[in-house]
């Protein structure tokens, strides 16, 4: 039996979907443990590009069970749309998708609260406005709606209407919002009925698979630096995308996990607001964005781009306990004469190689760089580590040595098989 976790090591968008898709070929189950419809995990079926927002990336693997864990907040409307997209593209999912009964539900009320909060906030977070934050707030306020509630539509409607009344009374929404939301609630109820048969005791299902020694893959959304506990607060998500979220989001103790794979881009990106020490505002930044097609799969927003931050990566390793890392989009660096890696932060005339010293205020730090000579030759067609240019091998080995974790997988293109696995 092997239980493997795939965790984003940066600010999300690291290429987790592709790696989960790769590793799921040997998995009996893929389980998401946190987040909601704000994932944008991209996988390919031949030439067909498929973007997954809630469904685990193992859906393309035949006979692989896909679990939406209790740590997620599920949007029935978006999920039905996503399932329809999969069906249209020939991806069969009948009987393979299982929703945790105690997962919480995103309603149209939550979505509108999210949008209004972002509109009226003096400090915009850059939320996707998909209702995820407000749904988590209700969860921890102990007044949330759970997936098990989907089996009683009359009671479900009453709970949603009660939440709408409360939102208006509290000032989260205004009375004019009631008409539009009420129309959306009817669609929400229709789609809730569609996914209700998928709701079940996923805890028992997961542990039965553990006991029968089957291969399980655990999929995180977003990235460690967006973790509500360890990320660049307040510019974070509302859950724990780090490995600690596995135990709470699935009911699976970390002692059962054999392998924790950290996913990093060979450079760094970020979507939305928040500090970003290695962000580039020059031609190199634009070049990374254009070559890497750095636009959000969920929002379409242009991503901010910068050099690889090894200080941040080491911090992420410490939080997650990565046993290995994957570097994605290494091929994007094929086109640069000089490539930099951040090895320290300078602040107030002092240098440090620990992000934790400045995590509360990274806006004042200045990155300290080590510069590498670019290799200026294509890597996409290479399938063996030994065949990579020596300069690439030096770049990879430096990162591995600095963060103290070996690089085991390299992605050198968007395709499913554009992968190098290092023994």
Whether 13 sits among the annotated catalytic residues: the reply is yes
Q: Angle CA(249)–CA(124)–CA(122) in degrees, nearest 5?
A: 130
- Of the residues 41, 53, 104, 230, which is catalytic? 41
Order of strands, edge to edge, in the sheet holding 419-421? 199-200, 97-100, 65-68, 29-32, 216-219, 3-8, 259-265, 324-328, 407-411, 419-421
Pick from 225, 220, 319: which is nearest to 271 by CA? 225
Pick from 1, 5, 3: which is nearest to 240 by CA? 5
Cβ-based burial of 392 (10 A; exposed 0-12, middle 13-18, buried ≥19): buried
Helix (H, G, I), strand (E, B) or coil at 105: strand
Distance (Å, rounded) from C-alpha 4 to C-alpha 7?
10
Residue with tokens 């189950």: 29
Percentages helix, strand, coil for the chain (3-state, rounded to 5) are 40, 20, 40
Measured in residues, the chain has a length of 423
Q: Which residues are catalytic?
A: 13, 41
């Amino acid at each position: 039996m092997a239980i493997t976790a795939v965790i984003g090591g940066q600010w999300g968008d690291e290429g987790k979907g592709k790696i989960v898709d790769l590793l799921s070929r040997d998995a009996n189950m893929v389980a998401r443990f946190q987040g909601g419809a704000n994932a944008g995990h991209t996988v390919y079926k031949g030439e067909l590009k498929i973007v997954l927002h809630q469904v685990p990336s193992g859906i393309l693997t035949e006979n692989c069970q896909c679990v939406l864990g209790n740590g997620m907040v599920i949007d029935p409307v978006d999920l039905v749309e996503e399932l329809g997209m999969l069906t249209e593209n020939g991806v069969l999912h009948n009987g393979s998708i299982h929703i945790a009964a105690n997962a919480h539900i995103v309603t149209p009320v939550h979505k509108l609260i999210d949008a209004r909060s972002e509109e009226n906030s003096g400090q915009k977070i850059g939320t996707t406005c998909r209702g995820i934050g407000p749904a988590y707030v209700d969860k921890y306020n102990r007044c949330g709606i759970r997936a098990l509630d989907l089996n009683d539509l009359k009671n479900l409607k009453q709970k949603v209407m009660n939440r709408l009344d409360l939102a208006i009374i509290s000032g989260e929404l205004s009375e004019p919002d009631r008409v539009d939301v009420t129309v959306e609630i009817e669609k929400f109820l229709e789609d809730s009925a569609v996914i209700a048969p998928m709701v079940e005791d996923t805890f028992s299902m997961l542990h039965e698979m553990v006991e029968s020694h089957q291969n399980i893959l655990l999929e995180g959304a977003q990235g460690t630096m967006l973790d509500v506990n360890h990320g660049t607060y307040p510019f974070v998500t509302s859950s724990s995308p780090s490995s600690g979220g596995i135990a709470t989001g699935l009911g699976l103790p970390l002692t059962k996990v054999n392998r924790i794979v950290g996913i990093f881009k060979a450079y760094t990106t970020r979507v939305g607001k928040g500090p970003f020490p290695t962000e580039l505002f020059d031609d190199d930044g634009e070049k990374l964005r254009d070559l890497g097609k750095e636009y959000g799969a969920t929002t379409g927003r242009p991503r901010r781009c910068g050099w690889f931050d090894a200080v941040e990566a080491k911090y992420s390793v410490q939080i997650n306990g990565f046993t290995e890392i994957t570097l994605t989009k290494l091929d994007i660096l094929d086109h640069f004469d000089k490539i930099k890696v951040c090895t320290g932060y300078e602040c107030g005339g002092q240098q440090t190689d620990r992000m934790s010293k400045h995590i509360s205020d990274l806006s004042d730090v200045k990155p300290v760089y080590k510069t590498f000579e670019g290799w200026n030759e294509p890597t996409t067609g290479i399938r063996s580590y030994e065949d990579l240019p020596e300069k690439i091998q030096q770049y990879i080995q430096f990162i591995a040595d600095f963060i103290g974790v070996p690089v085991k997988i390299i992605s050198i293109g968007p395709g499913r098989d554009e992968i190098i696995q290092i023994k």
